[in-house]
């Protein structure tokens, strides 16, 4: 059985067969050797990305004030004012200063993230203007995550502005979606991806693991993203933020997180696989192992949760023989210098971002 599954996984990784939910779910089980799974996943990672790591920086440009009830999110409509520092859309100059900082720190991609169900026409026009200005000043890739796109016209407006990529995660399987959110459905998310693709904008869509889902649910997302031909896949490990509303949390071990990253790589061999939220907490000193199959990560934390800073992350990348994939010509040498760090000293508990963290350039 193990030999047969190994053969099939290698076929998926080589693009010689379409991945199946059942076989990917079987690879998540502890009975399949982790070392073999990582070796299988490492082959396409090296083939298509070598030893390069893409570094992404998030900018939370609007926090809270969200009508959605996503149980995993600190910005959901039932979140109290004490749990997160809510604010409306940041001023343009504030966002431009944050973009400049990201550019100078060697970010491959700068990701603008805003709360809410999805943009209105007026908001879409504003986002399009921001995209144009950032792209004119800082030649780095730009991503926007602004929720559900219901009108294909909005996708076309963002495309015309020069947006490189739109993020909208599937988060979990169609079957498990009603357990984590009731204000929208799985098909809304799929349609958003399809609208952006038809407009000519690349898409980023991934998963959150640890919300009470089954192995089949996780594998189902990996297969669905393959079917949607998604080129960028963030793999998030659920961070139980204060006041979350997820029942039956799944206990995550570093080994299971590595298995999850491996099956997403195997199912999507040419895609950018990103070690996203939770890597410091769950992977700890196994982060370098994760880079055997993943070729991308976030630095300086996530939407509302702190993570390791840029210097620590760059040091970890360099110390383990990888190179930062950056097109920036004036990278801050202090952030990119080689070195080593005590990875066991990474944060081991959830620490929420303060208003000062989220708005370093606020007047």
Catalytic residue annotation: 66, 70, 73, 111, 143, 204, 274
End-to-end Cα separation, the chain, in angstroms: 62
CA torsion sign for 294, 300, 304, 306 is positive
Closest by CA position to 114, among listed 93, 84, 88, 150? 88
Find how far residue 303's CA is from the centre of its chain.
11
Find out whether 307 and 263 touch, Cβ atoms under 8 Å: no
In the 8-state DSSP scheme, what is residue 353? P
Cα–Cα distance for residue pair 242/359, rounded to 1 Å? 21
3-state secondary structure of 315: helix
Closest by CA position to 124, among listed 195, 229, 206, 194? 195
**In 232-330, alpha helices (H):** 254-267, 287-290, 310-319
Cα–Cα distance for residue pair 157/88, rounded to 1 Å? 22
Please list, in sequence order, all residues whose beta carbon lies within 8 angstroms of the beta carbon of residue 334, skipping any fewer than 6 positions away. Answer: 311
> Looking at 79-156, which runs of residues are DSSP E strands?
109-114, 141-145
Vertex 257 angle, CA 252 and 262, to 5°: 155
Please list, in sequence order, all residues whose beta carbon lies within 8 angstroms of the beta carbon of residue 329, skipping any fewer than 6 positions away. Answer: none
Element housing 99 (H / E) = helix 92-104
Cα–Cα distance for residue pair 34/18, rounded to 1 Å? 22
Cα–Cα distance for residue pair 256/282, rounded to 1 Å? 9
């Amino acid at each position: 059985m193990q030999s047969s599954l190994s053969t099939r996984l290698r076929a998926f990784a080589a693009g010689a067969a379409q991945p199946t939910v059942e076989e990917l779910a079987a690879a998540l089980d502890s009975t399949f050797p982790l070392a073999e799974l990582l070796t299988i996943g490492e082959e396409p990672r090296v083939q298509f990305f070598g030893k390069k790591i893409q570094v992404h920086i998030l900018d939370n440009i609007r926090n809270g004030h969200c009508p959605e009830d996503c149980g995993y999110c600190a910005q959901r409509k039932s979140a109290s004012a004490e749990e997160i520092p809510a604010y409306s859309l940041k001023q343009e100059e504030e966002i431009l200063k944050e973009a400049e900082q990201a550019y100078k720190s060697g970010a491959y991609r700068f990701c603008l993230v805003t709360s809410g169900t999805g943009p209105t026409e007026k908001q879409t026009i504003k986002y399009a203007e921001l995209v144009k200005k950032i792209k004119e000043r800082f030649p780095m890739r730009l991503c926007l995550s602004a929720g559900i796109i219901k009108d294909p016209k909005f996708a076309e407006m963002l495309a015309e502005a020069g947006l490189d990529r739109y993020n909208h995660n599937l988060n979990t399987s169609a079957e498990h979606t009603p357990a984590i959110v009731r204000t929208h459905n799985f098909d809304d998310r799929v349609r958003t991806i399809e609208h952006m693709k038809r407009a000519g904008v690349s898409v980023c869509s991934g998963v959150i693991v640890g919300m009470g889902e089954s192995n089949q649910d996780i594998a189902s997302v990996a297969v669905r993203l393959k079917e949607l031909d998604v080129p960028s896949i963030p793999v998030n490990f659920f961070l139980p933020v204060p006041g979350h509303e997820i029942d039956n949390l799944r206990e995550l071990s570093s080994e299971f997180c590595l298995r999850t990253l491996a099956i997403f790589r195997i199912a999507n061999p040419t895609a950018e696989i990103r070690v996203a939220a939770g890597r410091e907490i769950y992977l700890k000193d196994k982060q370098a192992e994760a880079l055997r199959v993943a070729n991308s990560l976030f630095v300086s934390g996530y939407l509302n949760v702190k993570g390791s800073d840029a210097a620590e992350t760059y040091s970890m990348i360099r110390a383990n023989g990888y190179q930062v994939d950056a097109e920036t010509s004036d990278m801050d040498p202090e952030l990119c210098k080689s070195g080593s760090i005590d990875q066991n000293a990474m944060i081991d508990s959830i620490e929420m971002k303060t208003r000062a963290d989220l708005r370093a350039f606020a007047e």
